[in-house]
């Protein structure tokens, strides 16, 4: 087998991802015949046909699918190496953290707390949807994604998922609304509630609990954003169902209080990463700290 040419491998990857020779040639600023010749050269070097033609499209053969998997790994490692060496060449290192836009800001701050104020560290914080963040993580634009939604694993993107904390969930409201001590059943039946959105795991667990208790709650508001649940609780429109960490400051100041702990319901916070040949040492530092805090 002749020496593998990485330039040919990059051209093959472009065709494989697009499925059409003409489109790949246009994007690569090559003639179709030149691109076809270089793909054939790669096939000769590997001793395998990488494509079969179906109509106007090129479809990967079994060998082609294997070659694409390896090409993705090779170029991902190259990007990883460039990013790492760029950072180690300077006096400061960056940690790029993505967080689900609906995730508790207090939790995010607690996660990066060991790095805050360090002169040798630059923190890059980004929020977005799960799909956007995982795409950035796979492209190595992020070092870690914080979420409460476990991502599905597959052979192409074997996410590494670490549980950071399982926070208890409570009914939280203003002291004025709570009044004298009442049972959980009384609170659920007598007070309007501010609930997580229907498509969240937390809401599903809460609905299961109220069904088990035979309660039909009065819903004052719903939100899929923890920050919005916090604000609604402060506005005193009802008792909010959320982890106390979300309203930690309000609880400390006496603006809000825990009415009741919802036993058996918790909010799990996760850190999602990908395997890297050159892992960011700052990430290991905060993950180790989070693991230590979880065990205390």
109 with 168, same domain?
yes
Q: What is the pLDDT of residue 84?
A: 63
In this structure, the answer to whether residues 183 and 41 fall within a common structural domain is no
Would 166 be classed as within a structural domain? Answer: yes
Contact (CB, 8 A) for 117 and 144: no
Question: Is residue 1 domain-resident?
Answer: no
Question: Does residue 237 belong to any structural domain of this protein?
Answer: yes
The three state secondary structure string of the chain is CCCCCHHHHHHHHHHHHHCCHHHHHHHHCCCHHHHHHHHHHHHHHHCCCCEEEECCEEEECHHHHHHHHHHHHHHHHHHHHHHHHHHHCCCCEEEEEEEECCCCHHHHHHHHHHHCCCCCEEEEEEEECHHHHHHHHHCCCCCEEEECCCCCCCCCCCCEEEEEEEEEEEEEECHHHHCCCCCHHHHHHHCCEEEECCCCHHHHHHHHHHHHHCCCCCEEEEECCHHHHHHHHHCCCCEEEECHHHHHHHHHHCCCEEEEEEEEEEEEEEEEECCCCCCCHHHHHHHHHHHHHHHC
- In this structure, are 71 and 157 located in the same domain? no
Angle, alpha carbons 212-214-215 (nearest 5°): 110
Query: Same structural domain for residues 101 and 247?
Result: yes
Angle between helices 281-295 and 105-112 (to 10 degrees): 110
**Domain-terminating residue out of 83, 110, 143:** 83
CATH of the domain at 257: 3.40.190.290
Residues 142 and 11 occupy one common structural domain:
no
**Residue 231's pLDDT is what?**
93
Block means of pLDDT (10 residues each) for the chain, 296 residues, are 75 84 83 88 88 82 85 76 61 84 85 89 89 86 90 74 89 88 89 91 91 93 89 93 91 93 90 84 85 54
How many domains does the structure of the chain reveal?
A: 2
Structure tokens at 61: 């053969």
Closest to 98 (Cα-Cα) out of 120, 61, 123, 117: 123
- Note whether 195 and 234 are same-domain residues: yes
Residue ending a domain, among 22, 55, 83, is 83
Does the reported pTM lie above 0.85?
Answer: no
Shared-domain flag, residues 97 and 171: yes
Do 171 and 100 reside in the same domain of the chain? yes
Flag whether 21 is in a domain.
Answer: yes
Question: What pLDDT shows up at residue 1?
Answer: 46
CA distances from residue 69 to 65, 145, 154, 275, 283 in whole angstroms, order as listed: 6, 23, 13, 15, 26
Q: Is residue 255 part of a domain?
A: yes
Which is it for strands 160-173 and 239-242: parallel, antiparallel or unpaired?
Answer: antiparallel
Tokens representing 165 are: 């904390």
- On whether both 148 and 226 belong to a single domain, the answer is yes
**Other CB atoms within 10 Å distance of the CB of residue 128:** 16
Place of tokens 């659920």: 188
Whether 235 is covered by a domain: the verdict is yes
Task: Examine the domain organization and report whether 214 and 260 are in the same domain.
Answer: yes
* Among candidate residues 83, 113, 137, the one where a domain is terminated: 83
- Evaluate whether residue 59 is within a structural domain: yes
Domain check: are 134 and 267 in the same one? yes
Whether residue 188 is contained in a domain is answered as yes
Give the domain CATH number at 32: 1.10.10.10
Residue 73, pLDDT score: 76
User: Residue 148 is part of which domain span?
Assistant: 91-296
- Domain check: are 250 and 174 in the same one? yes
């Amino acid at each position: 087998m002749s020496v593998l040419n990485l330039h040919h491998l990059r051209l093959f990857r472009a065709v494989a991802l697009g499925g059409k020779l003409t489109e790949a040639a246009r994007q690569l600023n090559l003639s179709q015949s030149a691109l076809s010749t270089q793909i054939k050269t790669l096939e000769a070097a590997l001793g395998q046909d990488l494509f079969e033609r179906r109509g106007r499209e090129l479809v990967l053969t079994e060998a082609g699918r294997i070659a694409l998997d390896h090409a993705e790994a090779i170029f991902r490692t190259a990007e990883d190496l460039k990013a790492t060496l760029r950072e180690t060449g300077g006096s400061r290192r960056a940690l790029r953290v993505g967080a689900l836009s609906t995730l508790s800001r207090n939790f995010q701050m607690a996660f990066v707390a060991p790095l805050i104020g360090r002169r040798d560290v630059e923190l890059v914080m980004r929020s977005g949807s799960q799909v956007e963040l995982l795409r950035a993580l796979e492209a190595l634009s992020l070092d870690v994604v914080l979420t409460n939604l476990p991502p599905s694993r597959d052979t192409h993107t074997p996410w590494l998922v670490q549980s950071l904390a399982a926070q208890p969930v409570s009914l939280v409201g203003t002291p004025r609304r709570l009044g004298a001590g009442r049972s959980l059943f009384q609170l659920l039946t007598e007070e309007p509630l501010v609930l997580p959105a229907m498509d969240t795991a937390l809401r599903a667990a809460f609905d299961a609990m109220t069904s088990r208790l035979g309660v039909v709650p009065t819903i004052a508001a719903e939100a899929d954003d923890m920050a919005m649940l916090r604000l609604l609780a402060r506005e005193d429109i009802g008792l909010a169902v959320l982890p106390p960490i979300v309203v930690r400051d309000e609880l400390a100041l006496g603006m809000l209080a825990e009415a009741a702990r919802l036993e058996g319901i918790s909010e799990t916070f996760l850190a999602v990463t990908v395997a890297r040949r050159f892992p960011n040492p700052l990430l290991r530092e905060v993950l180790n700290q989070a693991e230590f805090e979880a065990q205390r």
